[in-house]
Structure 1
Amino acid sequence: MDLFDDLPEPSQSTGESRIQSPKADDRGSKRKLEPCHDEKEVEEKKWEEKKVCKGLPSLKGYFAARRGERDEMQDAHVLLPDINSCLSSLPAQVSRVAYFAVFDGHGGARASRFAAEHLHHTLALKFPKGVTENLDKLVKKCLLDTFRQTDEDFLKKASSQKPAWKDGTTATCVLVVNEMVYVANLGDSRAVLCRMEQEEKVNEKKCVTLALSKEHNPTIYEERMRIQRAGGTVRDGRVLGVLEVSRSIGDGQYKRCGVISTPDLRRCQLNPNDRFILLACDGLFKVFSAEEAVQFVVSVLEDGTLERKEGQTEEESHYEAACQRLANEAVRRGCADNVTVILVSIGF
Structure 2
Amino acid sequence: MDLFDDLPEPKQTPVPVSAQLKSTREEEEEVKEEEKSLKRKREDAECHADKKEEEEEKEEIKKVCREGLPVLRGYVAARRGEREEMQDDHVMLPDMSSCMSALPCQVSRVSYFAVFDGHGGARASRFAAEHLHHNLAKKFPSGETENLDKLVKKCLLDTFRQTDEDFLRKASSQKPVWKDGSTATCVLVVDDMVYVANLGDSRAVLCRMEAAAGGGGGGGGGGGVGGQRKVVTLALSKEHNPTIYEERMRIQRAGGTVRDGRVLGVLEVSRSIGDGQYKRCGVISTPDLRRCQLTANDRFIILACDGLFKVFSADEAVKFVLNVLQEGSVEKRSGVTEEEVRFEAACQQLASEAVRRGCADNVTVILVSIGF
- Give the letter for the 2:365 counterpart: V
* 1:63 equivalent in alignment to 2:57: no
Distance 2:332 2:297 in 1: 25
Letter in 2 for 1:81: P
- The answer for the alignment partner of 1:17 in structure 2 is none
In the aligned structure 2, how far is the partner of 1:59 from the partner of 1:271?
Answer: 13
The one of 55, 63, 66 equivalent to 1:52 is 63
Moved more, 198-207 or 155-164: 198-207
Q: 1:271 aligns with which of 281, 284, 295?
A: 295
Q: Does 1:189 align with 2:202?
A: yes
Structure 1 stretch displaced more, 243-252 or 296-305: 296-305
Contact 1:123/1:142 (CA < 8 Å) preserved in 2?
yes
Question: Which whole-Å deviations, capped at 9, do the CAs of 1:278-325 have from their partners, x for residues lacking one?
Answer: 000000000000000000000001112222233321011000000000
AA matched with 1:312? V
The reply on whether 1:101 has 2:101 as its aligned counterpart is: no
Q: Which amino acid aligns with 2:290?
A: R
Over residues 109-138 of structure 1, what are the superposed CA-to-partner deviations in whole Å (9 max), with x where a residue is unaligned? 000000000000000000001100110000
Which amino acid in structure 1 is aligned with residue 183 of structure 2? T
Q: Which residue of 1 aligns with 2:230?
A: 206
Q: For 1:20-31, what aligned pairs fall within 5 Å after superposition? A: none
- CA–CA distance in structure 1, aligned partners of residues 99 and 281 of structure 2: 36
Q: Give the Cα–Cα distance (whole angstroms) in 2 for the partners of residues 229 and 219 of structure 1.
A: 15
Which of residues 117, 122, 129 in structure 1 aligns to 2:142? 129
Instruction: List structure 1 segments (4+ residues) > 6 angstroms apart after TM superposition.
Output: 41-47
Taking only aligned residues, the RMSD between alpha carbons, in angstroms, comes to 1.6
Query: In the TM superposition, what whole-angstrom CA distance separates every residue of 1:46-78 from its partner, at most 9, and x where no partner exists?
Result: 866642322111110000000000000000000
State the match for 2:20 in structure 1: none
Aligned counterparts, 1:1-348, within 5 A: 50-54=61-65, 55-203=68-216, 204-348=228-372
Q: Does the aligned pair in 2 maintain the 1:143–1:184 contact within 8 Å?
A: yes
Q: Deviations over 1:155-176 (max 9, x none)?
A: 0000000000000000000001
Deviation at 1:43, TM superposition (A): 11
Percent of matched pairs sharing the same residue: 81
CA distance in 1, matches of 2:102, 2:215: 47
Work out which of the two has the higher radius of gyration on C-alpha atoms and give 1 or 2: 2
Taking the aligned partners of 1:310 and 1:67, their CA distance within structure 2 comes to: 30
**TM-score scaled by structure 2?**
0.81
Q: CA deviation at 1:206?
A: 1.5
Between the aligned partners of 1:197 and 1:46, the Cα distance in structure 2 is 37
* Deviations 1:214-246, CA, capped at 9 Å, x for gaps: 000000000000000000000000000000000
Count residues in correspondence.
308
Query: Residue 333 of structure 1: CA displacement?
Result: 0.2
Separation of aligned partners in 1, 2:184 and 2:73: 20
Question: Which runs of no fewer than 5 residues in structure 1 stay unpaired?
Answer: 1-40
Structure 2: where are the runs of 5+ without partners?
1-50, 217-227
Q: 1:86 to 1:163 in 2, by over 3 A?
A: same
